[in-house]
Amino acid sequence: MPKNFLTILDIPRDEAQQVLLRAKEMKDNKVRTDLLAGKTLLLIFEKASTRTRVSFEVGVRQLGGDPVFIASKDSQLGRSEPLKDTARVLSRYADGLIVRTFGQEKLETLVEYGDIPVVNALTDEYHPCQIMADVLTMYERTPKLEELKVAWVGDGNNMAHSFINGAVPFGYQLSLACPKGYEPDEEILDKARGLGAVITLTDDPAEAVAGAHYVNTDVWASMGQEEEQAKREKAFAGYMVDDALMAKAAEDAKFMHCLPAHREEEVSESVFESPASIVWDQAENRLHMQKAILEWIYK
């Protein structure tokens, strides 16, 4: 059975720690291997991407493999060839699929009908590779993750869901502030809590951020929600991470954002460009973490 990485919970708890340590080692030692020699990994993207696409293409090469990028609009997928057919065809050519798409069920279809590993490069529901990299970004500053309070201010979206899942293996305390009607999925929250994660949910950003060591946010309208921008700007009024909000966090708290960011919307220019902002390290860590995830799948 091929290993897949559709959500953070696909990695057993103890192995998640190993993946984290390996990503750090890969970063510190600029690791290159031939693990993927002779292997071709297809990147299928139904949404735009800078960081995820480039870090996977570079990462696959640094592990000795060949990445092949497919923009779905230029393929038969964009003309409605069924995913279950595409999965069976691509399994005959390649050794893995790295997929950015809409519904999570599309990845599940690829897993069901294909017979090569599938990696989630972002869906409407989850962004697990990003949060694994974000955990690395926190770990390299504050290795005792279980002593951290991590705040999420904004939409209960794919990023929030993966932060919720990440609280299970990595043990940080997560406090989310989401406007009413934009809370994370209850099932995802309940499942993580049932697995021992300590997670609070409020609609007051100041409450969520109080004493937090890391303050995270993301765009208010994700890819695919562009037409809701105006409605969301109203709903998220008061949710901008600005200097006043950061002042309520722990001393020396850091600001995090997966990027791309909308300045003066979810984050003020002053916070985004401040010394507290660690967004470029987050972006860099995508590369190191994805190599560690690929090693977990293929070794």
Q: Does 223 bind ligand NVA (CB under 6 A)?
A: yes
CB of 127 to ligand NVA, least distance (A): 6
Quick check: is 130 catalytic?
A: yes
50's contact among ligand NVA, ligand CP, none, with CB below 5 to 8 A by partner kind, is ligand CP
Judge whether 203 and 178 are in contact, CB under 8 Å.
Answer: yes
How many C-beta neighbours within 10 Å does residue 14 have? 8
Q: Using H for helix, E for strand and C for coil, what is the string for 267-278? A: ECHHHHCCCCEC
Quick check: is 286 catalytic?
A: yes
Q: What is the rounded distance in angstroms from the CA atom of residue 51 to the CA atom of residue 284?
A: 9
Quick check: is 34 catalytic?
A: no
Quick check: is 10 catalytic?
A: no
Quick check: is 104 catalytic?
A: no
The answer to whether the bond into 260 is cis (omega within 30° of 0) is: yes
CB of 246 to ligand NVA, least distance (A): 21
- Overall size of the chain counted in residues: 299
User: Which residue's CB is nearer to ligand NVA, number 91 or number 290?
Assistant: 290
User: Which residue's CB is nearer to ligand NVA, number 116 or number 189?
Assistant: 189
* Catalytic, out of 213, 218, 232, 257: 218
Q: What residue ranges bind ligand CP (CB under 6 A)?
A: 49-52, 122, 130, 258-259
Contacting residue, 86, 173, 222, 285, with ligand NVA by CB under 6 A:
222
* Catalytic, out of 62, 130, 173, 282: 130
Q: Does 158 bind ligand NVA (CB under 6 A)?
A: yes
Contacting residue, 219, 279, 283, 294, with ligand NVA by CB under 6 A:
219
- Helices 13-28 and 128-139 meet at what angle, rounded to 10? 70
Quick check: is 17 catalytic?
A: no
Q: Does 77 bind ligand NVA (CB under 6 A)?
A: no
Strand partners, 99: 44, 120
Q: Does 164 bind ligand NVA (CB under 6 A)?
A: no
Q: 80-87: list long-range contacts, CB under 8 Å, 24+ apart.
A: 83/109, 83/110, 83/113, 84/109, 84/112, 84/113, 85/113, 86/110, 87/112, 87/113, 87/114
Residues engaged in binding ligand NVA (CB under 6 A): 122, 127, 157-159, 218-219, 222-223, 258
